[in-house]
Chain A
């Protein structure tokens, strides 16, 4: 490519609109920023801020109802908006690579991964035939995929999320583009995997001199990885500048909120746990839950009709207690068995060995006694990860929150209505939402509804299984504050299941680090964070983005 003076990518006053039934909605308004050759620029914002839309506009891949309504996008001096379909198609893949967000859904499920990279090379005129296949293996190897030659012959479903992301990175860099757009490239992955992949991407792009446009919702991650940060809010660029400057002295109010909410940067518990009096009593600690040497073995079906089954020990001799009125977090990566523990505490699964006691009574025993089970279900309530699928789309908000009251036949209709309104108030939702349906609510509002529903029957224990993982940082922080506040007011106990250590720090009193079905380390949060004993815990802590940043004096 002939060297062009000026920026590699320049976006000027970009407007992007989406046609809807109510007319055109502007998703991006007057956005301007530049990416210079070899530079890494991060665009940060919450979902709906227009950051991904901006990236899609650059490569001309907006959703069918979206279009650029104003402004200019210049790439290497060429006006991409005037280049026409063919012009943009020439640039895609060859000059601008894309690493998409979700490794699970972005690979063609019916084509071998090596072939998917080879076809990229062929269609961009790099190499063809057997040479392309050989090059694909090299590229996979370069992207850090172990045993690349064998993996190239596998289909996407045979690879783990981290491996698939490496395939996508290999694909994005296959034709040695000048610019790589990485749209939340690791959000769907475990923190430790996330870290190795981002490190690898850093080295690769630095070696190749590729400029990177990194799209992320995590300010900590952006600051750690990028030279410059562009903050977007509601379709507008509200602030941009060198990463550290922006974090140390954010000028725009939204940047300040974002940096305050970023869990990766938070340093202390939201509200100090109540010094629970019973815990001071030396003889009998008041534990609401006691998990005692619990093991869960799943039998996996073997191949074929008569294939021999295989045992998988998902949870292996796990013990911990939840002192009344406190929060215990189980933290671990996907597949560590933490959710299986949660399901056993909820009595949705029966342990293979060991015992779980709730208020001193064995949990799995309750199953045999219908009345005891109903009592147990009333005292223990779950809040699940995905607020989009855990609410019945055909129930209004009112009906959703009222449902457990009806199920347990509590109160008259009038009394129930009062209770629902009380709960709406407790989770800080306006009463006029009561007649809405889940589809009409935002993610944060839905999770508040899910919490209100869980609290309706006045439970003692709430099991939060990744309850804030699907939410934007600011919303996440609001929900965590809400949970902490409710705990203080109502004396709730929480079992918090999460993969995110930063969340643990904000909400939990005690933490159990789970790896491969076993608790490898446990203790008070401060102790585990400040003096981790296990290598695995340290690796998890180091993987929190933004931890290495020295931000000087920062008010928590």
Chain B
């Protein structure tokens, strides 16, 4: 009495060449994460004013390390993981492989782009942090490298859309399988959202860094950056939602209830792209009215995450009750907590509840004055990307690597220890940063050498250091598990993806089939973006390129 969320529930497997592309993206992403995590330890200890950067090879300053940390973990890892994992879910959802040339090209583009950015950062020509606000100026290799990373995601999107078109031609009038719909919607959202960053880098920063433009417009660049810089978090989050909606119900022994609700949530993410101004609440040059409009849209985009909380929690409840859990919350303890993939992702969901609430605080217009650019912000986003997303990557890896390698997970017990220790590490770490932030502790500051310090930052700083150290140790255990699984896991027959089914099938008549017409939603989203950003862009055209900049600061 339920409908599978893929086109071919049995008997489909991807060709080896495509699985290899998935594999390379995944392992490269985790290798990059390892570099980011090593940097992270130093940044966590920084808030307890313990300096260890002088013992690091190559890296010379706190800000160089922080740039590497942000670019590795937030830009390269996330794109690599999404490119790999979503290629797999799209292909599995449609029951057809994606265009091999595009998938291969995406991998090489990502790889070359990452190397270029890595070069610029490692030689110290790009200590501009991962937001790279001009007029701080990096080497051109940094900007071109990041542009290539973004372009790699567009190539995956093109491969998805080509496969979707072919699938539709073969299945006229059929609903797009839910797993494929979620995967494709993720990239369609990102195609729109990434336009701001693309224009900023390609039209302004890259020519400027090559000396082709006399200067740069800091306000325009920053606004284009944040046009992408907020919805980029949905590009981090939605691949995880694909897992939470599409796979976790099956992994826990439950089922997803509503097909329609799931699609509506993804469509809302496509629609509500223009929310980036809420990162500029305390900027001059942006009117209060624009700020309040965007605060409203920001609250609106909280709605699909509340839908997700409902839908995913219900799937978990079905699982817990099927497994004999009773009462109002008894079912929660009956879901298979001994499965490290499930435990990691359910812990990630709990972190996301807290991350969402703290994010709503950041987006709260006047409340933003209290916490803008304080340590509260990294406290918040280590709950979201640093735990909800990262710990879900880990949880997915706990079935995905065995699936890709045809090997059993090495030591599920160690994996459980890893998931729980990481979760508690983040809780301590983020509490430290958020508490410090409320007391005025700034983010992005070399506290070891700072010319100021307030005594009330001491306890939050210690918590940050302890929590961060636990996160570091836990991630090292994760890398050990990955290496041991790939090299020494017991060989087994490869299985299939743990895709779920929906209790309510996708209706083929009524208004619901229109949800699959992504082009409508793209048009609506572009129109809304122009309505919100149009006046600002018109006022800043042509750009005032008066600001000369500060080179590799």
A and B: bona fide binding partners: no
